[in-house]
Structure 1
Amino acid sequence: MEFDGPRTIGIFVVLIAVAALGLLGMGVMETSTVLMMVLPSMVVGGLLFLFLGVKHGEYRASGR
């Protein structure tokens, strides 16, 4: 399965949505806490790890 831009963004959004809905559904935190603190940190962390993963994949593909 090849990952292009739209597919990668779609998978990213689905993963973040499932995680946020899971936290909201479990009821371990207030809704406002999840939406104002946890969700933004998941997005920022996910984007950072996505960027690092892409850069690592480019490095591995270059054959250095």
Structure 2
Amino acid sequence: MSNILISKNIGTHFLLPVFGILGGWYFLSEKVGFSLIVGFILIVLGVRTVQIESQLIGSG
């Protein structure tokens, strides 16, 4: 387990914000507004960019 790269193991952590938003909406009756969705999309794009860069650096 210690030999696995973090960029390969991050897939499960990528889902935490999704379940955080859904849990807040379902259990706490939080409103999912436009700014939350835009912020979430920006975070997802940032994480994906880092994953792609990590794979390019690791392979070459």
Range into which the TM-score falls when normalised by the shorter chain: 0.5 to 0.7
Partner AA of 1:43 in structure 2: V
Structure 2: how far apart are the matches of 1:52 and 1:9?
A: 15
Q: Which residue of 2 aligns with 1:27?
A: none
Q: Which residue of 2 aligns with 1:51?
A: 52
The runs of 5 or more residues in structure 1 that have no matched partner are: 25-29, 60-64
Could you report, residue by residue, the CA deviation over 1:23-63 in whole angstroms, capped at 9, with x for unpaired residues? x8xxxxx74111x200011111110111001111222xxxx
Structure 2: how far apart are the matches of 1:12 and 1:58?
A: 21
Q: Which residue of 1 aligns with 2:14?
A: 12
Identity within the alignment, %: 11
Pair 1:40 & 2:41 matched: yes
The runs of 5 or more residues in structure 2 that have no matched partner are: 25-30
| Count of aligned residue pairs for this structure pair | 47
Give the superposed CA RMSD.
2.9
Structure of greater relative contact order (alpha carbons < 8 Å, 6+ residues apart): 2
Partner AA of 1:10 in structure 2: T
